Amino acid sequence: MRRHASPVLRRKAVLAGLAVGVVAACGAGFALSDASAGLRPGRPAPKPSHGATHAGHRPSPAPTTGTATSGASPKVSPTAAAPGIPTPTPAPTASVAPPGARAVVLPTPNTGFDYQIGGPYQPPAGIGAVSRDHTAPPAQGLYNVCYLNAFQAQPDATDWWQGNHPALLLRDAQGRPVMDEDWGEALLDVSTPAKRTELAGVVGAWIDECAAKGYQAVEPDNLDSYERSGGRLDKSHNAAFAQLLAARAHADGLAIGQKNTTDLIGQRRTIGFDFAVSEECGHYDECGGFDSAYEGRVFVIEYNAADYAKTCKSFGGKLSVVLRDRDVRPAGRSGYVFRSC
């Protein structure tokens, strides 16, 4: 999630909607299940942002093409913006998998990267890694990171959680769901081992889907939900839940990325994080911490041209840095921005 207006809190990227998928599912006679709850509705843009994508109007996933070739993929030049034919990332490094689990493949440091969680499209030329929402297909021949909203409910999904897992919504003293007011998202309750286990069953099904589709990694968002919980959650609760997600990902043969939240960098090994996805670490002077912790395996997204230029100057030769529009629009949409250094 991106940072909120407050320097303490994070903002999140705008996601595409649930409505198209739900309409199609209903037409085919399907019912929502725990796994399909991941077909999340669109994430509205915050008031300070501009050009919000209307919830429920998600573009149809565009088919990806491209043939894997050997050799390292060059990073995209800072002026490149038009989609092109992708070339794959250099062979990533395999990590040590837990007993009985499949080998996990880590991303290659300083690989050309594109952040496509607002909708999939043909990656620009030279891209070796891409992050997409878990409802989208992975990009052929690239290192694919699967985006999950793991610690909060999507804006239009609160009723689904209320109907299917009411005990997993964090509640205030009056029994009302505790909300991330900037995004209209209900926080999920990870305060007890029992609730974390039950919630891991729901989110774990989404992780399984990522693996089945061919993704190499997952990116669970809102790791910092405790900051918006009014003291009902703390870092230890979120770290414990993240540890369950890491175990599930590793069992599926997927790497797992730490999304933002420098407060938990020190617990990365205990949790099981393999790399990082950092929004605006240049703006908040956090890139160095992520770089040191993850040895360059850091995907950085900046949303301001000046922050992007500063980050490229300091870390462009070490980390995978990209400039995107705040609504992370697919290529071809008005307002689409993409640059990489």
Residues 74-100 have pLDDT tens digits of 343 333 333 332 333 333 444 444 455
Q: From residue 288, give the alpha-carbon distance in Å to each of 130, 296, 313.
A: 22, 9, 13
More reliable by pLDDT, 31 or 130: 130
pTM for the structure as a whole? 0.75
**What 3-state class would DSSP assign to 135?**
coil
Q: Are strands 217-221 and 185-186 parallel, antiparallel or unpaired?
A: unpaired
Q: Whose structure tokens read 């003293």?
A: 173
First to last CA, the chain: 22
Buried b (16+ CB within 10 A) or exposed e, 178-213: bbbebbbbbbbbbbeeebbeebbebbbbbbbbbbee
Beta bridge partners of 287: none
Average of pLDDT values for 63-67? 32
Q: Burial, 60: exposed, middle or buried (Cβ in 10 Å; 0-12, 13-18, 19+)?
A: exposed
Q: Which pLDDT score is estimated for 30?
A: 31
Query: CATH: 3.40.50.300, 3.40.50.620, 3.40.50.150, 3.20.20.70. Which one for 68-340?
Result: 3.20.20.70
pLDDT of residue 18: 34
Name the residue among 120, 114, 138 with its Cα closest to residue 212.
138
Cα dihedral value 287, 293, 296, 302, nearest 10: -30
Give the bridge partners for 257, in sequence order: 275
Q: Is 136 exposed, middle or buried, given 0-12, 13-18 or 19+ CB atoms closer than 10 A?
A: buried
Residues 274/256, Cβ–Cβ less than 8 Å: yes
For the segment 250-305, what is each residue's pLDDT rounded down to a tens digit?
A: 999 999 999 999 999 999 999 999 999 999 999 999 999 999 999 999 999 999 99
| 320 contact partners, CB below 8 Å, separation of at least 6 | 75, 107, 109, 110, 111, 112, 113, 129, 298, 299, 300, 340
Is 101 buried (19+), middle (13-18) or exposed (0-12) by CB count in 10 A? Answer: middle
- CB count in 10 Å sphere of residue 172: 12
